Amino acid sequence: MGKTLFDSPSFANHEGVHAFHDEKTGLKAIVAVHSTARGPAVGGTRMWNYASAAEALEDVLRLSKGMSYKNAVADLEMGGGKSVIIGDSRTQKSPELFRAFGRALNGLGGNYYAAEDVGTSVEDIAEARKVTEYVLGLKDGPEASGDPSPVTAEGVFRSNLVVARRLFKQDDMTGLTVAIQGVGHVGAYLAEKLHKAGAKLIITDVNQANLDAVAAATGAEIVAPDAIYDVAADIYAPCALGATLNLQTLDRLKVKAVCGAANNQLATADIGDELFRRGVLYAPDYVVNGGGIINVASEMNARQSGGAYDASWVEGKLSRLMDTFEEILERSVVENKPTHLIADAIAEARIKAAGDLKAELLKAA
Residues facing residue 18 across a β-bridge = 31
- Got the DSSP string for 178-221? EEEE--SHHHHHHHHHHHHTT-EEEEE-S-HHHHHHHHHHH-PE
DSSP 208: H
Catalytic residue among 65, 82, 200, 317: 82
**Side chain identity, residue 269:** A
Residues facing residue 48 across a β-bridge = 86
**CB hemisphere CA count around 74 (13 angstroms):** 34
Q: Return the SS3 of 82.
A: strand
Strand ranges, E, within the chain: 16-22, 27-35, 41-48, 79-86, 112-116, 177-181, 200-204, 221-222, 235-238, 257-258, 281-282
Strand ranges, E, within 195-284: 200-204, 221-222, 235-238, 257-258, 281-282
**Side chain identity, residue 230:** D
Backbone angles phi, psi at 152, to 5 degrees: -60, -50
Q: Distance between CA atoms of 231 and 4, rounded to whole angstroms?
A: 42
Residue 336, sorted as left (phi over 0), alpha (psi -120 to 50) or beta, turns out to be left
- Residue 93 among the catalytic residues: no
Q: Distance between CA atoms of 135 and 34, rounded to whole angstroms?
A: 17
Closest alpha carbon to 220 in 211, 229, 228: 211
**Side chain identity, residue 129:** R
Angle at the Cα of 73 from the Cα atoms of 72 and 77, rounded to 5 degrees: 35
Q: Return the SS3 of 175.
A: coil
User: Of how many residues is the chain composed?
Assistant: 365
Q: Distance between CA atoms of 183 and 173, rounded to whole angstroms?
A: 18
Catalytic positions, written as ranges: 82
